[in-house]
Amino acid sequence: MQVNSWYGTIIVAFLLCLVCSVVVSTTAVKLKEEQKANVELDIKRNLLLSSGLITDKKASRNTVEEKFKNVETKVVDLETGQYVENSPQNFDARKAAKDPKMSVEVPSPDKAKIKNRSKWATVYLIEDGGVPVSLVLPVSGYGLWSTLYGFLTLDADTRTVKGLGFYEHAETPGLGGEVDNPKWKAQWNGKVILDKNYQPNVRVEKNGNDKGKNSVDALSGATITSRGVENLLHYWLGDHGYGPFLAEFRKGEI
């Protein structure tokens, strides 16, 4: 009787452990999926904010998904400027930048201080009646304390800014962190940051907003972060960034 009781206890304990492990594993997988979905939603929301398609930072999932129907997602080969045919779904340029097979070293001078970049990039075309009216380009570069990740929205002329916003960084609150200030971000709208030869000429400097169509105010007390924003835009709009793609887009051949 004692042997049976001991055997039964072992069986019950084993089954209990098995059930618990299944529950924990299932919950962990579900949480991971929810976290991934929330990250994707946040990126879409910030992209739409940069483009001006939404203005509410707390826009609901339904609103974000509905507005995102106007956005066409493409993967671009940054060297050729051409779209990548049969590109993988949910391509992640940040992960690819860490993969030696999928990345290239940024040549000196590395203005954005990112060291390596993915060979490909995801770009977003905002369309009206099937015609692209804006381009949203992911941009990144180092500020004072961190890498800033954001979106630059350009008019279809590829020169005029429609919006700029950063969704991830660790700059100093009240100083470099003012890249999130709506008043500072609003300065970018309408700025022309490529010259007539389509070379980047953007300036972020003291009293910059009064100095010309290619210049915006530097952040007060945040010289290095301001310079970082200027540098990352120069890099991504240049020949090693989106330059080849923007040239192909202007030709109307892609």
159 has a pLDDT exceeding 60: yes
Mean pLDDT along residues 24-37? 68
For the entire predicted model, the pTM comes to 0.86
Phi, psi of 34 (to 5 degrees): -65, -40
In order of 142, 143, 187, 203, the CA distances from 181 in angstroms are: 18, 16, 10, 18
pLDDT band at 32 (very low <50, low <70, confident <90, very high): low
> How many other β-carbons are positioned within 10 Å of the β-carbon of residue 212?
12
pLDDT digits (tens, 9 = 90+) for 222-252: 999 999 999 999 999 999 999 999 999 999 8
pLDDT band at 92 (very low <50, low <70, confident <90, very high): very high
Annotated domain spans of the chain = 71-251
Q: For the chain, give the longest Cα–Cα distance.
A: 94
The better pLDDT of the pair 142, 58 is held by 142
Query: What's the mean per-residue pLDDT of the chain?
Result: 91
Task: Region of 115 please: left (phi>0), alpha (psi -120 to 50) or beta.
Answer: left
31 has a pLDDT exceeding 70: no
The neighbouring-strand residues paired with 164 are 152
The per-residue DSSP string of 67-96 comes to HGGGEEEEEEETTT-PBPTTPPTT--HHHH
Of 45-59, 168-182, 186-200, where does mean pLDDT reach its minimum? Answer: 45-59
Mean pLDDT along residues 137-146? 98
pLDDT band at 87 (very low <50, low <70, confident <90, very high): confident
Q: What pLDDT score was predicted for residue 83? A: 95
